Chain A
Amino acid sequence: MAIDTLYQEIQTEIAKYPDRRSAILAALRLAQTKYRWLSPEAFEEVARCIDLPVAQCQAVASFYDMYFLAPVGRHVVEVCTNVSCCLVGAPDVVAAFERELGCALGETSTDGAVTLRAVECLGGCGWAPVVSVDHRYLEHFQPGDAAQVVADLRAAPAEEH
């Protein structure tokens, strides 16, 4: 049964820590892998599996950029818009992606292929601007690179998150 797979996986994570609360990030990641995004129902399932109040699961998830609190497309493009990336052109990168995808920041292209998000520091300040495509970094990203990335993603199969 699908539910019990997630339950078992989360129990495995809980066993790694002295306190089950510590497994909350891993549990949320497992649920996101299963459902692609963290819906209210997914939060409730995680809360039952880890035996914590559901609001606590949402509180943690909403703090981090790595959890999707709304449905996402088959691929996710994340542009760092923190200080270092911003200084070397991140706003132009965002604009280029918006143009190529025909959707605004935070939205998914109408064909459902790509979700465009702005994220906090990806830890790549030395190689700014940084773009993360399905969790793989593209460094020193130039606005002109966006067209090729979008074309490739539209042709590629869905990625796990």
Chain B
Amino acid sequence: MSTTATNVVTVTFDGRDVQVPAGTPLVVAAAQVGVEIPVFCYEPRLGPPIGACRMCLVEVELGGRPMPKLQAACTMTAADGMVVKSAATSEQAKEGQDAVLEFLLLNHPLDCPVCDKGGECPLQDLTFRYGPATSRMTLAKRTYEKPLPISPSIVLDRERCILCYRCTRFSSDVAEDGELIARERGAQSVIATFEERPYVGAFSGNVTELCPVGALLPTPYRFKARPWEIVNVPTVCQGCPTGCNTWATVREGRAERILSRLNPAVDEGWLCDRGRFARHEPLADRLTRPLLRGADGLQEISFAAAARTIAQRLRHVDSLHGAGSVAIVTGGSLTNEEASAWGRIAADVHARTASGPVAAAGAWERLDPFAARIDDLDRADVVVVVGDADVTDRAGVLDLRIRAARRRGAHLMIVSSGGTLLERDCDTFRPVAAGTAAASLQALVADPGPLVGATHPVLIVTDPIDLGHVAAAAHALGLQERGGVLPLPTGPNERGARQAGLAGGGDEVLAAIESGAVRALVLLGVDPTADWPEADRWQAALAQTEHVVTLSPFVNTSVSWSHVVLPQAVDLEREGTTTNLEGRRQRLRAAVKPPSGVADLAVATAIATHLGIEIARTAPQESEPPPRAKPGRATKAPAIRAANVTAGRFALVAPRGLFTGPAVERTAALAHQRAPWVMLNHGDAAALGLSEHDRVTVRHGGGEHTGPLRTSRRLLEGTVRINWAGSPVAGEAEVVRA
């Protein structure tokens, strides 16, 4: 919006003048001079105001003439010379506001004492501050069946609902999943899902924060705490590399709830359901003590003994077998401070290192000359997403920002084998064979389509391909001078681990283990047999390695092959900083104590001390993403291997999804988000005699996946897409009726 002098207007609120750009909603302009106009439905993040709740009624005078009726200050926009009287100075507005509140409360049960929203509820607060003390409603209130689960993670209380439509606007206009609707009409309107099926959508939990009453509440938080008993700790989500800012609601040493914490540059106040609901619980499942393998299997030992043993073994292996005989591997779940300590240890024992599964796909510095920030999407005129994986799978809320860019008018181009979440409303869909993201980038350079003439294009590659391809394409497309590339690391703090000296890829380490070069392997918060490709090879590699040290919150396959095990703290239990996908360092705060009672950094420091390394304690520092690196020379793209699919089989697309991993698997509130499905092209399904919802089995290299069929007209023929939750698989698959 331009703010040139010509369209700045002066509006008077309760006798106070304010100058705002023409078109500013009155509620916003009023707030600038300290005049509060109460609202329920107004929420600028949901798009244009709709004036549904009528709470913001004001008296408006324009051109010296009073408007005949009270106006909604959210939909009424500022015009020059407008004189606005809020309920504070206008008897008429006060009367209108009272009437609206009385009306909203007609069927509202006023059960605040037993309502989880009580104490944090706009309806309660505004009724208390602005509303009439009594009601003239003497009839029985309307009742509904309640509570109604709209999914395993959200409960709906229709009696409390004031039909502000914030939740349905979020669903249809922000997440664009369209799952939450208002059914029926007028007084019969209710918030609902189709046929009461669970609300499946990566961002559904946001409606529980948007709801201005106690109608939509997060199930795991029901009856858990009252607002005066809780402490909200500001921290950062570690579910993916976006680094959404969060509040952890703590009661009596337990984190009971996660809320979004607005950071406009990162998350715009949204949070995905993984970040909101996935919990590393039950605590009984957690590792709490270090374990050492002896004659009788894994036995508990003290932290001091574990640190000493690990240091001794690493030193011993290094001095006996030389450089590269130790490998220290992380999946990006360490803090920067922990990664730095381990990086120093790695240097000292001449270790091979890895910060992600594939070396070539993790060399993020190759994109530095083209580095974009998340908020570059707000300025983008073209957004190109290349790859078979969904953006949601790699970096949750980025999906919402791309959708917002498209609604704002940016051209959205999707290059994939189809069946992704963003393509339904995109401007250009370029179908390409599964697994050909690298070749697609070359094709994009040859035929840039909407990128021709774009001034601020943003490129996102969702598949973990050799970043040489991405850098070459970005260079050829001139993205060092315009727009940029948003990197999508695999682990939440993969970039931080890399910068801290743990660079490298799991594939290289795996090859070194298989060649017999590695005698000691340290797995820091990663289980390569579950999280990374080549699960079988990793398992064999673990079996043949003399010394395996694992840092993990839970028992997993890697733990069962380990000789020394350290319990790992998880995101809500750690102090430090984390580096998100754009290179922003953000502060993690320990909301609760780790069940082991010992900080991971203290253990790493103890190991370092045994090795004679001094780790200085430094205060965690936040920082903005680094400035863009100087453009380098054009790089040559690596060779592309063509993938051919055997006749009668399907090309398999099975990206590792957002709802995977040990915490998600243990969270009942997320079970519905993980329900397996199989997607086939409409024509392929018909040829196989399969129709929608038929149960279908897909057999592939990683195992078997069975689920109801979804057909798509955009998914490329000869391709099968599944939401496989195991270790990453690709290649080809067989599809049969289950």
Residue from B184, B194, B424, B711 within 8 A of A55 (CB atoms): B194
- Helix, strand, loop or mixed for chain A's interface? helix
Tell which of B194, B711, B713 touches A54, judged by Cβ atoms closer than 8 Å: B194
User: Which residues of chain A from 44 to 85 have a CB within 8 Å of any chain B CB?
Assistant: 44, 48, 51-56, 58-59, 62-63
Q: Is the CB of B178 within 8 A of A55?
A: yes
Q: Does A44 contact B692, Cβ atoms closer than 8 Å?
A: yes
On chain A, the residues within 8 Å of B185 by CB distance are 62-63
- Min C-beta distance of A49 to chain B, whole Å: 9
User: Is B92's beta carbon under 8 Å from chain A?
Assistant: no
Complex Cα spacing A53 to B177, Å: 7
The distance from the CB of B645 to the nearest CB of chain A, in whole angstroms, is: 26
Q: Is A43 an interface residue (CB 8 A)?
A: yes
Q: Which B residues lie within 8 Å of A51 (CB)? A: 424, 713
Beta-carbon contacts under 8 Å, B411-457 to A: 424
Instruction: Indicate whether A58 sits within 8 Å of B424 (C-beta atoms), given known contacts A44-B692, A48-B692.
Output: no
Looking at chain A, what size class is its interface with the partner chain?
A: 10 to 19
Prevailing SS type, chain B contact patch? mixed
CA–CA, A29 to B138, complex, Å?
42
| Chain B min CB distance to A134 (Å) | 23
Bound CA–CA A55/B692 (angstroms): 17
Residues from chain A with Cβ under 8 Å of B177 in the complex? 53
**B178, B184, B195, B692: the one within 8 Å of A56 (CB):** B178
Q: Tell me which residues across on chain B come within 8 A of A59, comparing CB atoms.
A: 168, 181-183
- Nearest chain-A residue to B180 (Cβ)? A55
Tell me if B193 counts as interface (CB < 8 A to partner A). Answer: yes
Cβ of A7 to closest chain B Cβ, rounded Å? 9
Counting chain B CB atoms within 10 Å of each CB, which of A48, A51, A62 scores highest?
A62
Contacts of A52 in B (CB 8 A): 178
Q: Is the CB of A53 within 8 A of B178?
A: yes
Closest to B177 in A: A53
A55 touches B182 (CB 8 A): no
- Given A56-B172, A59-B181, A63-B185, verify A48-B711 contact (CB < 8 Å): yes
CB-nearest residue of chain B relative to A60? B181
Q: What residue of chain B has the Cβ atom nearest to residue A64's Cβ?
A: B185
The residues of B that contact A55 with a CB separation of less than 8 Å are 178-181, 192-194
A48–B712 alpha-carbon span in the complex (Å): 8
A40 an interface residue at 8 Å Cβ cutoff?
yes
Cα–Cα distance between A53 and B178 once the two chains are bound (Å):
5
A-contact 0/1 string along B169-199, CB 8 Å cutoff: 0001000011111111100000011110000
Distance to closest chain B CB from A65 (angstroms) = 9
Expressed in whole angstroms, the minimum distance between the Cβ of B402 and any Cβ of chain A is: 18
Cβ of B546 to closest chain A Cβ, rounded Å: 55
Instruction: Look across to chain B and name the residue whose beta carbon is closest to the beta carbon of A63.
Output: B185
A51–B429 Cα gap in the complex (Å)? 15
How many of chain B's residues have a CB under 8 angstroms from any CB in A? 19
Per the bound structure, the CA–CA distance linking A59 and B193 in Å amounts to: 9
A58 contacts which of B168, B194, B692 (Cβ < 8 Å)?
A: B194
Is B194 within 8 A of A63, CB to CB?
Answer: no
A-B contact count (CB 8 A): 38
Chain A residue numbers with a CB within 8 Å of B172 are 53, 56
Q: Which residues of B contact A44 (CB under 8 A)?
A: 692
Q: Give the chain A neighbours of B195 by CB distance below 8 A.
A: 40, 58
Q: Say whether A62 contacts B183, CB under 8 Å.
A: yes
Contacts of B692 in A (CB 8 A): 44, 48
**Residues of B with C-beta under 8 A to A54:** 194
| Residues of chain B lying within 8 A (CB to CB) of residue A58 | 181, 183, 194-195
| B392 → A minimal CB distance (Å) | 16
Write the nearest CB–CB distance from A101 to chain B, whole angstroms. Answer: 24
Tell me how far the C-beta of A153 lies from the nearest C-beta in chain B, rounded to whole angstroms: 28
Closest Cβ neighbor of A49 among chain B residues: B713
The closest CB in chain A to the CB of B185 belongs to A63
Please, what's the 1-or-0 string for B676-696, where 1 marks a CB less than 8 Å from any CB in chain A?
000000000000000010000
Residue among A40, A48, A51, A53 with the highest chain B CB neighbour number at 10 A: A53
A8 to chain B minimum Cβ distance, whole angstroms, is: 13
A8 to B192, CA, bound (A): 30
**CB of B64, distance to nearest CB on chain A (Å):** 38
List B contacts of A62 (CB < 8 A): 183-185
Q: CB distance A56 to B181 under 8 Å?
A: yes
Residues of A within 8 Å of B179, CB to CB, are: 53, 55
Min CB distance B714 to A, Å, is 9
The distance in angstroms between the C-alpha atoms of A55 and B181, with both chains bound, is 6
Instruction: Please state if A63 and B184 are interface contacts (CB–CB under 8 Å).
Output: yes
What mask results when residues 136 to 172 of chain B are scored 1 for a CB within 8 Å of chain A, else 0? 0000000000000000000000000000000010001
**Bound state CA distance, A53 and B183, in angstroms?**
14
Complexed CA–CA distance, A51 and B185 (Å): 24
Contacts of B180 in A (CB 8 A): 55
Nearest B residue to A58 by beta-carbon distance?
Answer: B194
> A37 to chain B: closest CB distance in Å?
15
Beta-carbon contacts under 8 Å, B701-738 to A: 711, 713
Residue picked from A51, A58, A59, most chain B C-beta under 10 Å: A59
State A60–B177 Cα separation when bound (angstroms). 16
Complex interface: chain B residues within 8 A of A63 (CB): 184-185
Q: How far is the CA of A54 from the CA of B192 in the complex (A)?
A: 12
Cα–Cα, bound, A62→B188 (Å): 10
Bound-complex Cα distance A51 to B714 (A): 11
Q: How far is the CA of A12 from the CA of B193 in the complex (A)?
A: 29
Shortest Cβ-Cβ A-B pairs, 9 listed:
A53-B178, A59-B181, A55-B194, A56-B178, A55-B181, A62-B183, A63-B185, A54-B194, A62-B184
Query: Would you list 22 pairs from A and B whose C-beta atoms are within 8 A, ordered by A residue?
Result: A40-B194, A43-B194, A44-B692, A48-B692, A48-B711, A51-B424, A52-B178, A53-B179, A53-B194, A54-B194, A55-B178, A55-B179, A55-B181, A55-B193, A55-B194, A58-B183, A59-B168, A59-B182, A59-B183, A62-B184, A62-B185, A63-B185
Interface residues, chain B, with chain A CB atoms under 8 Å away? 168, 172, 177-185, 192-195, 424, 692, 711, 713
Residues of A within 8 A of B (CB): 40, 43-44, 48, 51-56, 58-59, 62-63
Beyond A40-B194, A59-B182, 20 additional pairs, beta carbon < 8 A: A40-B195, A44-B692, A48-B692, A51-B424, A51-B713, A53-B172, A53-B178, A53-B179, A53-B194, A55-B178, A55-B179, A55-B193, A55-B194, A56-B172, A56-B181, A58-B183, A62-B184, A62-B185, A63-B184, A63-B185
